[in-house]
Amino acid sequence: MNQNKIVINDFSKEKSAQQYAENWPDNPESLNLYENGFQCGGCAFFAPWNQDWGLCCHQKSPHFSETVFEHFTCSSYVNEGWGPHSFTEDVDCHCRCHGENGWK
């Protein structure tokens, strides 16, 4: 029996929503990434559900398999740009358009 509970329009984990709302009080590295524009929407492991929300697919992330806001971030962020995502840390496999071709 399938037990998946998919959330597509909000954080799927309350603690993550709280971290975002409070500017990562226990994680200054994530706040620094956020303030410098390195946010989930540009991570190689972000699978978008819609314009604002998506699934974290990075097994090294503390948010793996959570629905997160595209402007959220974490210390496992892998920059690929706001275009298509490769779901790999290997930069040789990353999209080179960085969303410049109207993907988003």
Are 53 and 9 in contact, with CB atoms under 8 Å apart? yes
CA distance linking residue 92 with residue 71, whole number of Å: 25
Are 41 and 68 in contact, with CB atoms under 8 Å apart? no
pLDDT digits (tens, 9 = 90+) for 8-61: 999 999 999 999 999 999 999 999 999 999 999 999 999 999 999 999 999 999
Nearest to 30 by CA among 68, 66, 72, 2: 72
pTM attached to this predicted model: 0.89
Domain boundaries in the chain? 14-93
